[in-house]
């Protein structure tokens, strides 16, 4: 009879080691996956919020400077909870363009139409996304106020505009909506 060298591992010992290593690998990979997912979500949230802040700043500046159109039309042409259309000079060329902010799905967009021949606003609009992941489907983006700061739906009484954007990349889970709010007085419609 031959004697076996007792310095080697048995099959059971090798299987136990493989089982323990695979449990460790699964735990570590879950930890890394969760960390990566969380980091990506936070970066996307920060990016969306920063993008929306820039859009709100731009909206504030452009709405504040609303003025009569090149052919004398009233400053405002549409005032709805999800849409505002007015005349302003966003590119500082001393020509009033028709500017419209509106909700398209989960994107807040801006459209600008330059006055064409005879100052008719029938040119092709330039459209830009102002904010992504907007979650205002059930609540208004725009509210309109008269000179006494009472909410109004009469276009000729509007003297200031309030807007509220709810940003949420994944509405199904936390964190909740990030809300950006601003109010702007229409400079060229002041009563005082």
State pLDDT tens for residues 6-60: 677 788 888 999 999 999 999 999 988 888 877 877 777 787 778 778 888 888 9
Structure tokens at 181: 């709010």
Q: Are strands 76-79 and 97-104 parallel, antiparallel or unpaired?
A: unpaired
Q: Is residue 108 part of a domain?
A: yes
Which is more confidently placed, 13 or 109? 109
Establish how many alpha carbons lie within 13 A of residue 107's alpha carbon, considering only the half-sphere containing its beta carbon: 8
Residue 165, H or E segment: strand 160-167
pLDDT score recorded for residue 3: 62
What domain count does the chain have? 1
Q: Is residue 16 part of a domain?
A: no
Q: pLDDT, tens digit, for every residue of 67-79?
A: 999 888 999 999 9
Around Cβ 93, how many Cβ atoms within 10 Å? 9
Cα 75 to Cα 69: distance, rounded to the nearest angstrom: 7
Structural domain of 93: 37-189
Q: Flag whether pLDDT at 128 surpasses 90.
A: yes
Structure tokens at 108: 């807040």
> What confidence tier does 170 reach under pLDDT thresholds 50, 70, 90?
confident
pLDDT score recorded for residue 1: 57
Q: Are strands 178-185 and 126-131 parallel, antiparallel or unpaired?
A: unpaired
Structure tokens at 151: 């909410």
Q: Is residue 149 part of a domain?
A: yes
Which is more confidently placed, 117 or 101? 101
């Amino acid at each position: 009879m031959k004697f076996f060298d007792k310095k080697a591992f048995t099959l059971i010992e090798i299987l136990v080691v493989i089982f323990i290593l695979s449990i460790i690998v699964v735990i570590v990979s879950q930890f890394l996956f969760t960390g990566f997912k969380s980091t990506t979500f936070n970066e996307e949230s920060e990016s969306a919020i920063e993008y929306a802040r820039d859009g709100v700043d731009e909206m504030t500046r452009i709405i504040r400077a609303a003025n009569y159109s090149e052919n004398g039309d009233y400053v405002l042409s549409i005032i709805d909870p999800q849409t505002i259309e007015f005349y302003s000079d966003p590119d500082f060329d001393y020509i009033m363009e028709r500017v419209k902010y509106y909700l398209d799905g989960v994107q807040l967009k801006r459209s600008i139409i330059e006055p064409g021949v005879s100052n008719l606003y029938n040119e092709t609009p330039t459209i830009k996304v102002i904010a992504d992941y907007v979650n205002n489907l059930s609540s208004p983006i725009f509210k309109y106020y008269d000179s006494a700061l009472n909410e109004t739906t009469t276009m000729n009484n509007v003297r200031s505009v309030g807007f509220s954007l709810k940003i949420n990349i994944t509405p199904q889970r936390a964190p909740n909506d990030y809300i950006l709010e601003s109010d702007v007085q229409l400079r060229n419609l002041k009563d005082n």
